[in-house]
Structure 1
């Protein structure tokens, strides 16, 4: 999840209030915080019942009354809401107050090739800015007002600088041996104090700088949107001589799991309520389970017990030297995909975003047999026409992989899609440059 300042500044008083609350939340007495969390969950469920048509029926079928909710165990009566249910009930999941709440339509990039639309309101947008502000203020030497650089999926050109937000956008799709010197000079020109981006992009940037004997130092780097692998963390921290802070979020804005200065991941339950469930939707205390979250701010389109389709595991350790009382997550599994390597040597991740404008694709994955070629495998809806939709898909892919690599398109059946046991699609499968691919585990 990224942010745009213009989405967040319509409620300055609300921002001050949420900022104040978020600053204190991690250090509050655990019992008092959990009582308040239960109240906020109940209030969200009552709102959803009274203003969102879908939830009135959903709650009734589960024999759940939000007015009677006095425990987390009672909350667990509710079934899990998955992405397909959201897609199929989009109109009925919208609050009757959505317009008054300043709702705007957004969509996920669709890691399976199928974007999911949803609404975000002013309140959750403001809370998201406060969340990032808290994350970026973990050390007195950094804050949200200082110049920063982000190396991620900016596809409109090589770079852009926003003077208002002091953010230097560097395109991961254009990061290579030829552009790295320009990126380096831009960071110096705009006096960037900290950097954030996809782990694969931060890792490649450090590699390219090292190869050119160019040196940058950052006290902190923030990674997100992909799983941060141990070898990436080690090299990034060693090269930039700072600490990587890993932050798990998503566009739906129900989840936020952030690493603290002590290196532990905390489920930030003042932003969204995080659960880890087994295959029968029972709470998991030990071992790996599905990460299911309930947003606490977005009323335009509440997502209650929403399945992120990622896996996580609670840490049995109950306290952290950082002082935060938020639950500790041992590890998050998910968002792991291979990387396309172009003939120019550019490593391109997060290619799922190229598919977000093609609405007639159910599922898709990319296979790279060698450095000169990629094969785009498409499982389409009935209305899909390759001739009609190929130009837009080609345009979006070319923004990211460049003009020299050959792209072949192939229509496949659902059984040809490489699902993992967790129900995910391994979006990119590559036989090229295996040292860049994830081999730590298979979900």
Structure 2
């Protein structure tokens, strides 16, 4: 990566306008809940009216459903609007664009659940998203120009490292995390002494697995994760090997929702980023960031656990459990998620993956590390059995190459090959508490 590239990125994302947006978002975090709620109402009404007046997609949709746009006066009226899903966005992405779309920049989702979506953003939305990310880091304890390492696939497969002097960021390859490079990664990180690492959960786990094989340990304050579900055992491993606390940011490529993790590992909504409606197996999200590509009551197929005691203006999320298919589902309709808890305290394991092909049985694939023994496996079986009861399963030792990943290269703890929308309708599900 050339220096001119870093300079361009820095100037486009860390300029005067970025600083103003960062100040504004930091200020949002100090607002009283009543003030936040009033501003949400304004943003919601403006977003809906702007979409209806300037987007062919929304004008068609709302006319088809008989929506009187003048009746939308606050968030209490949101249920008068139909929801939309990925398939609608995939088919009519250009029709969603509004008239002020001459500055549009194209982006893509990862395609985890099928064909990637094409989404559009304007420079202002990109800048504001960056400001939200930095507000989250700033409030946690990491500020711009503090030393950081990026382990997020920014480099090509043949490049080990690159350095951005404008942001004091060392880019390390996430594609070269192999046994023969273990010492190089350890020495490079130890010599650089970062205050934080930015990484996908699966990449930081891979780094920890390498370092653990040689008993290498580091002392890094923070690891900021995003883009994948963070599992409890990954938090435990990062703390053990890097001495770091994982601080997660939950969002999506569509920029329709953002949840920021607090120090107690619960999450809250990033203030005034969006309005979210939570349901047992999905979320409807309405973004306030991107006026050229509005997403209103857009369905996100993720499951979150809400703290029912938290007030609606400051909704607290206890945990993010992943997509609706990230569950083991059994013949009686019982769904069990959050299997990551069964891996805590089990030693000498690099990766674990639960694979289910039918509702009466599942397989636990384990990639063992040096020292894995019968006691480790017995403990693992005991912990899993305490979660699933009498449901039969087997534990298989496999190689790392046999761990299943998505098309985007993401690692999933649970791979459910039979549970989909069609089978979902068959079950009257009863979700077990974790």
TM-score, normalised by the number of residues in structure 1? 0.70
Partner of 1:29: 32
Which residue of structure 1 aligns with residue 197 of structure 2? 195
Q: Distance in 1 between matches of 2:284 and 2:401?
A: 37
Corresponding residue SS for 1:174 = coil
Question: Which residue of 2 is the match for residue 383 of structure 1?
Answer: none
Shift of residue 193, structure 1, vs aligned partner: 1.7
CA distance in 2, matches of 1:114, 1:199: 23
Q: How big is each residue's C-alpha offset from its partner over 1:8-34, in whole Å with a ceiling of 9 and x where there is no partner?
A: 827944323321221021231111210
Match of 2:320 in 1: 332
Structure-to-structure mapping, 1:294-333, within 5 angstroms: 294-318=286-310, 326-333=314-321
Shift of 1:175: 1.0
Q: Is the 8 A contact 1:29 1:325 kept in 2?
A: no
Provide the aligned C-alpha RMSD in A: 3.8
Q: Secondary structure at the match of 1:129?
A: helix
> Does the CA-based 8 Å contact 2:267-2:318 persist in structure 1?
yes
Q: CA, structure 1 residues 424+131, in 2 after alignment: closer, same or farther (shift >3 Å)?
A: farther
Say which SS state the counterpart of residue 290 (structure 2) adopts. coil
Contact 1:309–1:422 (8 Å) recurs in 2: no
Q: Summarize the alignment of residues 153-302 of structure 1 with structure 2, pairs less than 5 Å apart.
A: 153-154=153-154, 156-157=156-157, 158-163=159-164, 164-277=166-279, 288-302=280-294
Partner of 2:417: 418
1:110 CA displacement: 0.2
Give the deviation of 1:40 after TM superposition: 0.4
State how far apart, in whole Å, the 1-side matches of 2:208 and 2:60 are.
Answer: 52
In 1, the alpha carbon distance for the partners of 2:156 and 2:259 equals 29
Distance 1:194 1:348, change over 3 A: farther
Tell me how far 1:371 sits from its aligned partner: 3.9
State the alpha-carbon separation in 1 of the partners of residues 14 and 207 from structure 2. Answer: 36
Q: Say which SS state the counterpart of residue 173 (structure 1) adopts.
A: coil
Q: Which secondary structure does the structure 2 equivalent of 1:95 belong to? A: coil
Alignment counterpart, residue 42 of structure 2, candidates 32, 36, 39: 39
- Give, in whole Å, the separation in 1 of the partners of 2:11 and 2:66: 37
With over 3 angstroms needed to count, the CA separation of the structure-2 counterparts of 1:441 and 1:239, relative to structure 1, is farther
Q: Structure 2 unaligned segments of length 5 or more: list them.
A: 1-5, 328-338, 340-348, 354-366, 368-395, 425-430
Alpha-carbon spacing, 1:58–1:259, altered in 2? closer, same or farther (3 Å): same
CA deviations 1:229-248 (Å, max 9, x no partner) are 11111121233223211211
Change (3 A) 1:11 1:66: farther
Give the 3-state SS of the residue equivalent to 2:138 in structure 1.
Answer: coil
Provide, for residues 12-60 of structure 1, a one-character-per-residue CA deviation record: whole Å limited to 9, x for no partner. Answer: 4432332122102123111121011010011111111111111112122
Shift in CA distance, 159/294, structure 1 to aligned 2, threshold 3 Å: farther
Structure 1 residue ranges without an equivalent (≥5): 278-287, 339-344, 350-367, 379-392, 402-416, 426-439
Instruction: Work out which of the residue numbers 6, 29, 49 in structure 1 matches 2:52.
Output: 49
How far did 1:68 drift? 3.1
What does residue 385 of structure 2 align with? Answer: none
Paired residue for 2:120?
119
Query: In structure 2, what is the Cα distance between the partners aligned to 1:373 and 1:235?
Result: 21
- Matched with 2:334 is none
Higher relative helix content: 2
Give the 5 Å matches for 1:373-412.
none
User: Quick one: structure 1 residues 123 and 65, their matched pair in 2 at CA, closer, same or farther if it must change by over 3 Å?
Assistant: farther
Cα 1:35–1:188 shift into 2, 3 Å: same
| Aligned residues between the structures | 352
CA displacement at 1:174 relative to structure 2: 2.1
Deviation at 1:6, TM superposition (A): 2.5
Q: CA–CA distance in 1 between the matches of 2:67 and 2:191?
A: 58
2:147 matched residue in structure 1: 147
1:364-383 CA-to-partner distances (Å, cap 9, x unmatched) read xxxx99649769999xxxxx
Partner of 1:334: helix, strand, or coil? strand
Give TM-score scaled by structure 2 length: 0.71
Structure 1 residues 249, 441: closer, same or farther in 2, change over 3 A? Answer: farther
SS at match of 2:98: coil
Compute the displacement of 1:422 (Å).
6.0
Greater RCO, CA 8 A, separation 6+? 1
* Equivalent position SS for 2:17: helix
Offset, 1:214: 2.1
- What is residue 428 of structure 2 aligned with on the other side? none
**In 2, Cα distance between equivalents of 1:377 and 1:194:** 26
- Quote how far apart the aligned CAs of 1:185 are: 2.5
Question: 1:300-320: per-residue Cα shift (whole Å, max 9, x none)?
Answer: 21111111221223212327x
Q: Secondary structure at the match of 1:70?
A: coil
Change in CA separation of 1:91 and 1:159 when aligned onto 2, cut-off 3 Å:
same
